[in-house]
Structures are given as C-alpha cells and as structure tokens.
Amino acid sequence: MLFIGEEFMNFRYSVLAFALANASMVVAAEEQTRELENMVTTATLSARDSATVPAFTTVITAEDIERSAVTSLADLLRDTVGVHNSNDSLGRDELRIRGLGGDYTLILVNGKRVSSGSAFAKGSDVDYNSIPLNSIDRVEIIRGPMSSVYGADAIGGVLNIITKAPTQEWSGNVSAEYRTIESGEDGQQQRLGASVRGELAPGSRLFVAIEQKQHDAWYEDRADKKANEPPRLEEKTSTNLFVTLSQDLNAEQTLDVDLALNKDDRPLGVYASGPRTREQELERMELALTHTGRWGWGTTTAFVKHEDSEVKDFNSSYAAPQTHNTGEQNLYAKAYANVTAGSHAIVAGMDYRHQEIEDKTTYLKTGKLSIDELAAFVQDEITVADNLFVTLGGRLDNHEIFGSNFSPKAYVVYQVNNALTVKGGVSKAFKAPDGSYLSEEYRVISCGGACSLAGNPDLKAETSINYEAGIELRQDTWEMALSWFNNDIDDLIERQITYDTNNDPVAAEWINVAKANTNGFELTASADVLSNLTLSGNMTYLDTEYEDAAGEKFVLTGRPEYEANTTVDWQASDAVSALLSVNYLAGMQYSSWANNGGTWVQEFPVAKSYYRTDLGVVGKVSDTFTLRGGVKNLTDVQLSEIDPSYTLFELGRNYYVSGTYNF
C-alpha cells in the first residue's frame, strides 16, 4: 500500500520510495525466477539460456509436477510437444520423440545415462519410473539429435532428469496419493513418498527421497470382453530410493555420491493371444561418484557409474526352464572440461561404456553378452557477434563390433532482437544395434506371447542425417516457438513378423529397413490472458515413411500424425488454483491384415481421432500442507470403443486425491 490514512501524509514521499523499491525487488525476483526456468544445461554441458542454446528445448519444473498430479514421468511427458507415449498392450510406456522410438531417446539422471532397461523385456518404462517424483527438481527435454555430445542413443532426443540438490537448511516433505477408476474393473492406485535434505556437517550435505507405487490390474469394460481376458493395465508394485551425499573438498571442488535402488514387481498375468502367463521382477542398484572442479581456467566434471540389475522372468511360453534369470551390469565413465577462451566456449571430453548381460537360458552357447564402447567429443560455441552464435561439434565413437564412426554437428543461433531468435542446424549420427539384437542365440517372447523375437547377427549399424530450424519469440506476457525437423535414417532397425497361413504370428526378428524418414513441425505458445489466467498449448505434426529393400514405401505405424494439447491455468486466489487440459490425437496408422479372396493383404488403416480432458484443483490449506484433487479422462474416453485399431490405451475416467506436507 502506498498510503495508509491522512496521518501519514507527511511521509508520503518516503513511503512512495519504499513501495517503489519493494516493487522493483519483486520484479527483479520474478525476472530472476524466470531466468532460472529458462536455463538449460543438457545441450551444452553448461548452463545456457534456452533462447541461445543450440537445440529446441522444453523444461518441466518441480512445481509443474506437483500441479499436474501425474503418476509417473512418462505420464508427465506425454503432453509435451514433440513427445508421444506409445504404450503397449499391457500399458508399458515407450516415449517417442519426433517419431523415433524409445531406443533413440537417451534417458539421463543428473547427466548420467540410465541403461539397464534393456535386460527387461519391453522395459524402457522401468527407466521412466525408477526416479521418485518428489526427488525431481526439473526435467530438461532436448528435442532432436544430440549424438555429437551423448552418442547414438540421442538421435531422437534427450530426457535429463535433474534431482533436487542437497541444501544447508533442513527441509522435507511427505506425500500420499490415491486414485480410483470409475469404468472397467479394479485399477486402484496408491503412491507414497517422502524426502528430506540438509547439512550433516559443515561442507557435507544430504538428500534422500523414497517412493512406493502400487496399482492393481485394470480391465476395460467392453461388450465383446472374453473370458480370461488379460488386463489393459498390468498389476505393478515399485519401490524407488534415491540418495545424494555432497561433500565440499574445498572452495573449488565438490564430491557427490549418488545411490539409487529400484524394485519392480509385475505379478502373474496372462497374454492377450492365448492361455500364456508371465511374471516379472526387477531389482536394480546404481552407484555413482562425481567430482566437480572450478578452476581459474574453467570447470571440470568427472564421474563413474555402476549399474547392477537382475530380472526374474517367468513365462509359460518358454521352453524349460520357464523362469529366466537375467543379470545386467553397466559401467559408465565420463570426464569433460568447460573452457572459455575469448569468443569460444569449448567443452571436450571422453566417455567409456561397458555392458555385460548374463542369461544362461537365453544365450545358450556362451551364457552372456558383452559390449565395449569408447568415445571422445568436442563442441565449440563461437560468439561471432553479440547476437550471432555458431556451434561446431563432433564425436568419435569406437565400437567393439562396428569400429570407429564420426558424428559431426553444426548449429547457428541468431538473436534478431531481445524478443526474436532464429536457430537451426544439421548433424550426423551413428547407432550400433543393441547387443541382444545382434546375437543369434537371443530369444525373447513377442507378438503378445504368440511368437519369439530373435536376434540377427547380420544387422548393420543405423546412420542418420538430421536437420532442424525454427524461431522462438518471447514477450513479457506471452511466448511462442515454431520448429521444423527432418530425420533421414539409413538401415533403420525394425521388427519383422512372420505369419502362418491363418495369419497368426509364428516368428519375429530384427531387420534393417532400407530407409526411413520422419519430419514435421512443432508449435508451442503460452499467454497470460489475465493476471491470474494463463493459456498454453502445443501442437505436433508428424509425417513418416520407410522404404524396404524392394523399394516399396510404407508408413511407420503407431505414430500420430497430429497431436495437440491445450491447458488453462487459473489462479483463483492465493490458496486455490485450477488446471483444465485437453489432449487431441489424430492420424494414427496401424498395420493389419485382410483376407482378400484367400490372399492375406497388409493394410494400414487410420484410427479415428479422439480427445482426452483432465481437470485438477490445488488448494493450499496452510503454509505447510497442500491438497490436490481432480478427474483424469473427464469424458471417459474408451479407445476400444472409438476404434478397435488402437493398441494405445487410456485409463477410464479416474478420480484422484493427494496431499503433501512440507516441513
């Protein structure tokens, strides 16, 4: 308040000055918060403003996670521009960036790869769900290739989960969530979480987060439901622990120790294709040691990480023994330095990866598989002018089987003015097949339990040339970004299924498709319509094609042509806010077979489009307690009723309530 009654008129100038000073401090604080939200580290291995970073990025904060009431990281990312969650017949998640599958999306936790999901059948969702939600400070999503820095796994993009850092002041929280599904049968979900962080001793800080999630199997309510039909969402219980101990060695050096423990149980269930049963259990431990140095000439980061995972996989389709015990160990080491020399901001380093999988049942001859990879990389951000930045980079990979390969990158960022930025670049990438793909010994159950998927020792490495360009606009009350991308991939690896005369799948193997292309546009926008009302949205257009060895062209199935999201965020009061979001999906094509006069013909029908609507309310009961509630899938969309072609699924209308106590 500027004035508080007539008796204070004599102090009007001092009061006015004080108010203006306060206002300027508030504005400065808001601007600082906005600047921090716009900073990204993943693309350059150093903090940069997202406007000038050589990539198109999205940042999701801890506040976004709390307000959206998601159940997993995959659930959180599904409405992000350029990202599509292609879950399978059991509800297991696979995130695709710009139309490229999960194998082309690199998952990092604090810049360190998470890579033991390959031991788990269709297990990428283990990686997505292994980090407690209450431990996440932010998620940086790099849409587009980052192979020149991170290697071939990053052709599609990078998801970097950055956890909360230990602090000097002690604080923590306890949270609980319950979710129930109105339609179908069963499907109740619960989640419990807790975290604490603070200083143990001068220079020694600790952060601990733990989470347990449990959801019952959920069965769709369909008129054509068969007896003994499998659930649409499998039963699962997972427990995740994440610990960081940070020790200051001196004013310039810090040593961090990270420990992660994951346990994932998926009890006995049945396959859709017949009376086959399966049960899986995974246990994983990750231990990492990181040294950070801040020197007069720049900074250095070096870490080593060890992963040890074990999978117990029972499947009635297996030949005896029907329980496979698979162990996987990954050793990952990386060291790099950031140096600024005049107009050059240089990062250079090396990394090493060793993967070893042990499975005496699957790998009949040797009982195991091991792969070694060594790489060196360098990236130079050149400030050509105050508003013009050119980034040149490259990575040399040395693979045990495929030898040496070089992945270069060139990128230009031009700031037309304070509001408008134009950027674009080109890169080349090399991706070796996963070791299991190459092994002729390898067999894993596929086709919904109806066939075995075999390795192929004749596979070639995939190579790609990737282009992107676009603009970003920022104003005080609104912002917008438009980007175009094009990925040309040679020798794309896809699954090929062999069918019998009744068109039932009998075998499958990995093969190289001659050529593939994904291209499209991404649009994001956000505007403060009122001081307490924000409207935001995004849209992704995707076009895909692959050409087989005979020159015949097809679409890459299971990818939507259009996907759009709109969100209305209303801050009703200081204590209450509401979030309404609508998701639209269209143009999803699938492969099917039709009997045409005794001849089976492959067709690619387009599934019908659909909308999904979510509504949530957040109430701050006190300074320490927050309550949330809402409805997901408000209109109770059932994809099996909209179009039976869908292999995706949406949970029926479900209600949730959650609470968080901060201390």
Place of tokens 């998470």: 114
CATH ID of 38-195+203-662, from 2.40.170.20, 3.40.50.360, 1.10.10.10, 2.60.120.1140: 2.40.170.20
Which pair of structure tokens corresponds to residue 279?
């049960």
Query: Which tens digit of pLDDT belongs to each residue from 366-405?
Result: 777 788 899 999 999 999 999 999 999 999 999 888 888 9
Structure tokens belonging to residue 559? 């990818």
Place of tokens 């509800």: 91
State pTM to two decimals: 0.88
Residue 232 main-chain phi, psi, to 5 deg:
-80, -25
| Burial status of residue 230 (CB atoms within 10 A of its CB: 0-12, 13-18, 19 or more) | buried
Please tell me the predicted confidence (pLDDT) of residue 223: 63
Q: Supply 350's token pair.
A: 């090396």
User: Residue ranges per domain, the chain?
Assistant: 38-195+203-662
What are the structure tokens assigned to 607, written together?
A: 């599934």
Q: DSSP label at 6?
A: G
Between 319 and 243, whose confidence is greater? 243
Show contacts of 406-411: CB within 8 Å, 24+ apart: 406/430, 407/147, 407/148, 407/151, 407/152, 408/148, 409/54, 409/145, 409/147, 409/148, 409/379, 411/54, 411/55
SS3 assignment, position 66: helix
At residue 406, the pLDDT reads: 93
Which tops the pLDDT comparison, 487 or 14? 487
Looking up tokens 């949530």 gives 616
pLDDT: which is higher, 90 or 453: 453
Measured CA to CA, the distance from residue 486 to residue 167 in angstroms comes to 43
Tokens of 19: 């108010």
Confidence label for 18 from pLDDT (cuts 50, 70 and 90) = very low
**CA-based nearest residue to 580, from 621, 530, 635:** 635
CA distance 84 to 561: 11
Q: Which residues of 359-368 are buried (b: 16+ CB within 10 A; e: fewer)?
A: bebbbeeeee
Residue 326 burial (10 A CB sphere; 0-12, 13-18, 19+)? buried
Give the Cα separation of 58 and 328 in Å (integer): 32
Per residue in 86-118, pLDDT (tens digit) is 776 666 777 889 998 888 888 899 999 887 555
**pLDDT tens profile 140-171:** 999 988 988 988 778 889 999 999 999 999 99
Q: Quick: pLDDT tens for 264-297.
A: 888 866 555 555 677 788 899 999 999 999 999 9
CB contact set of 651 (below 8 Å; sequence gap of 6+): 181, 187, 218, 233, 632, 633
* CA–CA dist 401, 398 (Å, integer): 9
Q: How far apart are alpha carbons 173 and 135 in whole angstroms?
A: 10
Q: Which residues touch 338 (CB under 8 Å, ≥6 apart)?
A: 45, 46, 298, 299, 300, 301, 345, 346, 347
Other Cβ atoms closer than 10 A to 110:
20
Letter for the amino acid at 621?
Answer: V
**Cα-Cα end-to-end distance for the chain:** 31
Strand partners, 56: 143
- In the chain, % helix, strand, coil (3-state, to 5) comes to 10, 60, 30
* Residue range 321-328: mean pLDDT, rounded: 73
User: Partners of 354 in the beta sheet?
Assistant: 331, 372
- The answer to whether residue 485 scores a pLDDT higher than 80 is yes
Instruction: Determine the Cα–Cα distance for residues 33 and 99; give it in Å rounded to an integer.
Output: 33
* Residues contacting 403, CB < 8 A, separation 6+: none
Res 291: pLDDT:
98
DSSP state letters, 284-319: EEEEEEEEEEE-SSEEEEEEEEEEEEEEEEEETTSS
pLDDT band at 83 (very low <50, low <70, confident <90, very high): very high
CB of 153 closer than 8 Å to CB of 105: yes
Beta-carbon count within 10 A of 57 CB = 22
Q: Which amino acid is located at 576 in the chain? A: V
Three-state SS at 46: coil
Give the rounded percent of residues in the chain with a pLDDT score beyond 90: 50
Task: Tell me the C-alpha distance between 470 and 479, whole Å.
Answer: 14
Distance CA 603, CA 478 (A): 44
Lowest model confidence (mean pLDDT) among 6-20, 116-130, 412-426: 6-20
The whole-angstrom separation of Cα 55 and Cα 470 is 10
